[in-house]
Amino acid sequence: MNLPYIRIETNIETKEDLLKGLSSLVSKLLGKPERYVMASIETKKMIFDGKMDPCAFVELKSIGLPEGRTDKLSGELCDFIEKNTGIKKDRIYINFVDFKGSMWGWNGTTF
């Protein structure tokens, strides 16, 4: 069980459908039941490359995140975000974070 959490910070308004699609995509990409996936999107003021054009910062955290697959995950996530928001891939940063189970709490305990 790796209990993924994905968060997008962006400078554009998004719709609820984006959040639902993101949750489903992460479940599929990591092969985990969607009931364990948490996703959030936050709209805020952001600048990238000195420009206020649409951009996004994505963070994917999970226990046992497969380091050897981050390139593929980056491609899939960038494709999804560009297709659903219009944010160009070269204006998206992704941070992958792998946690030990003892550092991830859920249901009153840790893993």
Residue 33 annotated as catalytic: no
CA–CA separation, 111 vs 98, rounded Å?
Answer: 13
Chain position carrying tokens 């997008």: 8
Q: Among 4, 33, 54, 66, which one carries the catalytic annotation?
A: 4
Active site residues: 4
